[in-house]
Chains A and B, each alone.
Chain A
């Protein structure tokens, strides 16, 4: 786009009594409007971060007359154990599995939707529903659906001879698969909508050109659609991976991290150590580790997949 020349010349003749004051301040108007947000965000991100760093080098418990004591890097040294390693493995399977399912299914549905001529509006109205449901309700609902004795989905699976003896949420590896499926049910519609918006922005001439060259549906998809969908897919990947890392409500409700820690993703472990067992120092060190991984993941997606953060026109 054209470079916007901000004329800093003051052109108002008579500054209005109520607002002309903004034009005579030493800082620019934009900075002035940004300031409250930046201050609030700085406080809301820096205060917790400083508190977290401080807690991570302390030994803290909530017993009366127990002042926090400085223990240096002891909490960090404790972090490298089998439990944490297992939790990271579970996280990798959970995030990787859910991303694969959601991106694959979401893209397929969006491509099909783009091909049909009728009913798109009705279809999108229906599929946005799961996204609007509180994760806690999603968890409760799926627990009901998967109950070994009266769950609708358990009954359906039993009809084809599956899970007749083992409860789905109470055995491995089905519990982990189940929480992945829950998230897929809830959030695939978002991927559908994002990819659909991406498809609509592909110029039709590209397809016409491909057809002149005699492209089949598959070659068209492979060489025209997919490359053009890259930005949309990158956004979907980034949003979903961040949320999968950040939240654990459905796991909290349905499996509580079990059976045998098979669904205990790292965020849940941090929560459990800090706020259930009150190992605040150890939990905070785990949290710092998690923060580092999340930031690296974010940077990786933004830099490699999207090629730079956001677009300035």
Chain B
């Protein structure tokens, strides 16, 4: 965007050296930020491949014979991780499905409705997402205890809907806001019903947005720890809870902790890359466009 590094861009005096510094310094600073961001992740990946003799060595060893034994232990050990991966996948995908289906309908309604107080309605919807987690978990725990939803996947999916649905409504609304109503009006004039105008005109245009909403919902649910900690037992446990439990056993199994960390983050980082162009509008619920 900037033209600081074009000759005659905005340098007023002292061309070459100052110009060059102006170009190099930002790159250096950005490089430092990248380093700061990447080092912990790289360290986790490296440590998950190190034998115990190398793992705790300081100064750090960057070259070593890699081992896959921690990954093997996670998959084929006494307490295989597969069960938790399946739980996580079922819960995240179901929660995303609920959020996207309701959120698409609600987002369209919110986008097209003309009532005074629409602002307040929108704000109420998003305010349900601002509730502190502890304040949601405590009463839900009490209610679940009564209705028998503790330790069930359904209970967890309902809990995730508390934060996924408001987000999905706001985001889908922002996608529908970008579609001119005239398109639907034209379809109506051609004889389409309200439902057909929604389903055949507006909906196909927001399909990419629905995909992004689904993926970001999956990431939120997959990464949750606190709800899963309280609302699941050994049968319904998700993978973040399994990761935390590696700490409390007799001493921490650091190799397995690093490996499970890689297993948890790899699919989500891949998802992040897929929805990269939607990430800002996604995480700001449509308030910022990219």
Contact = CB atoms under 8 A, between A and B. Distances in A.
B141 interface: yes
Report the contact-size class of chain A (Cβ under 8 Å from the partner). 35 or more
A124 B276 contact: yes
Nearest to B219: A132
B257 interface: yes
A118 to B, nearest CB: 9
A257 interface: no
A291 B135 contact: yes
Contact of A36 (B102, B244, B284): B102
Contacts of A41: 125, 128, 165-166
B135 A290 contact: yes
Interface string B107-141: 01110111000111011010110111111111111
Interface in A155-170: 155
Given A22-B193, A48-B136, A136 B244 contact: yes
Contacts of A313: 177
A92 interface: no
B19 interface: no
* Main secondary structure on B side of the interface with A: helix
B195 interface: yes
Contacts of A267: 132-134
Interface in B4-50: 4-5, 10, 23, 26-27, 29-30, 33-34, 36-41, 43-44, 47
A232 B36 CA distance: 24
A310 interface: yes
A158 B208 CA distance: 49
Given A33-B108, A275-B230, A295-B127, A270 B138 contact: yes
Interface in A110-142: 112-117, 119, 123-137, 140-142
A247 to B, nearest CB: 6
Nearest to A126: B34
6 contacts: A11-B191, A40-B165, A117-B5, A123-B30, A133-B265, A144-B43
Interface residues of B, number: 111
B218 to A, nearest CB: 11
A61 interface: no
Interface of B: 1-2, 4-5, 10, 23, 26-27, 29-30, 33-34, 36-41, 43-44, 47, 55-60, 102-103, 105-106, 108-110, 112-114, 118-120, 122-123, 125, 127-128, 130-143, 158, 161-162, 165-166, 169, 177, 181, 185, 188-189, 191-196, 198-199, 219, 222-226, 230, 240-241, 243-244, 247, 254, 257-258, 260-261, 264-265, 268-269, 271-273, 276, 279-280, 283-284, 287-290
A227 interface: no
Contacts of A144: 43-44, 47, 254, 257-258
A17 B27 CA distance: 63
Interface stretch (A76-84, A172-180, A185-193): A185-193
B158 A6 contact: no
Contacts of B247: 140, 253
Contact of A249 (B169, B225, B289): B225
A34 B106 contact: yes
A271 B134 contact: yes
A270 B254 contact: no
B34 A136 contact: no
B109 A246 contact: no
A4 interface: yes
Contacts of B280: 193-194, 197
Which of A132, A133, A145, A287 has most B Cβ within 10 Å?
A132
A127 B131 CA distance: 28
Contacts of A137: 240, 243, 260-261, 264-265
A6 B114 contact: yes
A126 B1 contact: no
Contacts of A287: 132, 134-135, 138
Given A19-B199, A45-B162, A113-B26, 16 more contacts: A11-B188, A41-B165, A52-B139, A113-B30, A114-B2, A125-B273, A126-B34, A129-B272, A130-B40, A141-B40, A149-B56, A150-B58, A270-B132, A275-B230, A294-B132, A298-B127
A286 to B, nearest CB: 9
Contact of B128 (A45, A185, A245, A280): A45
Interface in A265-290: 267-268, 270-271, 274-275, 280, 283-284, 287-288, 290
